[in-house]
Amino acid sequence: MLKRFFFKIILFILFPLILIFLMFIRLISPFLIIRIGMIPNVTVGDFIFDTQYYLSKKKLNNKKYFLDFFYLQSNKSSNIAYEKILKREIIIHRIFHFIDIINRKYFKSSIHIVKIRIGGGSRDIKDYILDSKNTFYFNKYEENIGLNFLKGLGIKPSDKFVCIINRDNFYKQKLSSFKKKDWSYHNHRNSSIKNYLKAASKLEEKGYFVLRMGFGVSEKMNIKSKKIIDYALSGKRSPLLDLYLFSKCDFALGRDGGIICASYVNNRPCAIVNVTNLDHAPINNKINLIIFKRFWDKKKNKYLKINEIFKNKLSNFYHYKDYEKNNIEVHENTEDEIYELALEMHDRLNNISKYSYEDNILQNKFKEIFPKRIDTCIVRSRIGKKYIKDNLE
């Protein structure tokens, strides 16, 4: 309440100056359009993906007659290191929040508003990130921190490493700035790190270091290996290292959204597992592989095939209650399913993978049944080779 009171006092004091500024930007709009926008910085996936989507779009369109200013949705960013990196690319200041409020309330002019949030998941719908090759960059100081950390783990520049991440409710319930909110509505997206251990051991056998990522996790890895590192519980994790490791890894293995978006926007290959909302799956990048959680139909007492999930319109739920209403239990991917996808990604990156005519037919069938709407993207990612054989139809 006190913060809101002071906010209104500041807004009242600045009101005359803001009015002058808003009238000024309207006068010059035939020559230069000044726009104000909000950056969603509460959840790290939106923070990274939405801003990089905006920057990539701006780079490709190259409309010089726009000048954009931004403010942050929250005073506390989900990743403070990324906030610092972003401020090297975008003009961000709290004053623009006050300007945006006055503009929307009294002028109601959409031409001076820029929407940075794309919504609907972390999907490059228009291929802006893919086409622009836009990535965020680390300065020399940040680069040295990352390199020294890897060196401390025994990881040389020539070594390969994979970042793995599972989603549980620990972060949302204990660490999020919205921790008072009931986050159980999407507990169906959670999974156990135990189902990643078989894949981690195989990747170690193939010569990779494996780093378990995450900010606030409820389970330890419980595996003894110098090359499989529980970075999330190491006491050494930091917001900067989270970004650095996902941006530099050979590939990422884990759930969609969240900090793995640092790999998405840097065009690092991703083997994505445990996806629940099939319609909004990040499937536009050809370097990615993806598999979905299994849908158990309690009435029919069986797992639904992918074509049945689409046919019965079960592919676009966000709330666990939607599944309950439809008598569906969502089951996470098994250790074997995750293992097979990780191995397939390794084979692809090392030019070992071979796809048969039958494999490609199955991929094309998936593309045919995938919903075609204005907010969906072109299917370029492959569904896991063994997973699609077992689960398509």
Q: Give 80-147 as a DSSP string.
A: HHHHHHHTTTS-B-THHHHHHHHIIIII--GGGB------SSS--TT-HHHHH-------HHHHHHHH
Is the sign of the CA dihedral 230, 236, 237, 243 positive or negative? negative
Question: In terms of DSSP H, where are the helices of the chain?
Answer: 2-27, 44-61, 80-86, 95-102, 128-132, 140-152, 170, 197-205, 239-248, 261-265, 306-311, 320-325, 335-349, 357-369, 385-391
What is the reported pLDDT for 374? 53
Prediction pTM value: 0.90
Q: Which two tokens stand for residue 257?
A: 């959204």
Task: Give the position of tokens 């807004």.
Answer: 11
What is the reported pLDDT for 93? 95
What is the reported pLDDT for 78? 93
What is the reported pLDDT for 14? 83
Residue boundaries of the structural domains of the chain: 2-132, 141-391
What is the reported pLDDT for 19? 87
CA distance 342 to 192: 16
What is the reported pLDDT for 174? 57
Of how many residues is the chain composed?
393
The SS3 call for residue 344 is: helix
Which residue type is seen at 389? K
CA distance 388 to 272: 14
What is the reported pLDDT for 266? 92
Pairing label, strands 294-297, 302-303: antiparallel
Task: Give the position of tokens 């079960």.
Answer: 314
CA distance 66 to 98: 20
Dihedrals phi, psi of 155, to nearest 5 degrees = -95, 110
What is the reported pLDDT for 218? 79
Q: CB under 8 Å, gap of 24 or more: what pairs does 220-226 form? A: 220/193, 221/193, 221/197, 222/194, 222/197, 223/197, 225/201, 226/154
What is the reported pLDDT for 181? 61
Those residues whose C-beta lies under 8 Å from the C-beta of residue 299, and which sit 6 or more positions away, are 327
Say what angle helices 197-205 and 335-349 make with each other, to 10 degrees.
30
Closest to 73 measured CA to CA, from 20, 104, 106, 37 = 37
What is the reported pLDDT for 252? 98
CA distance 125 to 127: 6
Dihedrals phi, psi of 38, to nearest 5 degrees = -105, 140
Q: Which two tokens stand for residue 218?
A: 């409820």
Instruction: Tell me the mean pLDDT per 10 residues along the chain, length 393.
Output: 71 83 90 94 91 90 85 94 96 94 85 79 77 85 97 96 86 56 62 93 97 88 91 94 97 91 93 91 89 96 96 87 91 97 97 93 95 73 97 95
What is the reported pLDDT for 175? 52
Q: Which two tokens stand for residue 322?
A: 């939607």
CA distance 183 to 169: 8
Task: Give the position of tokens 């536009």.
Answer: 284
Asked if residue 209 lies in contact with residue 229, where contact means CB atoms within 8 angstroms, the answer is: yes
The CATH homologous superfamily of the domain defined by 141-391:
Glycogen Phosphorylase B; (3.40.50.2000)
Asked if residue 189 lies in contact with residue 255, where contact means CB atoms within 8 angstroms, the answer is: yes
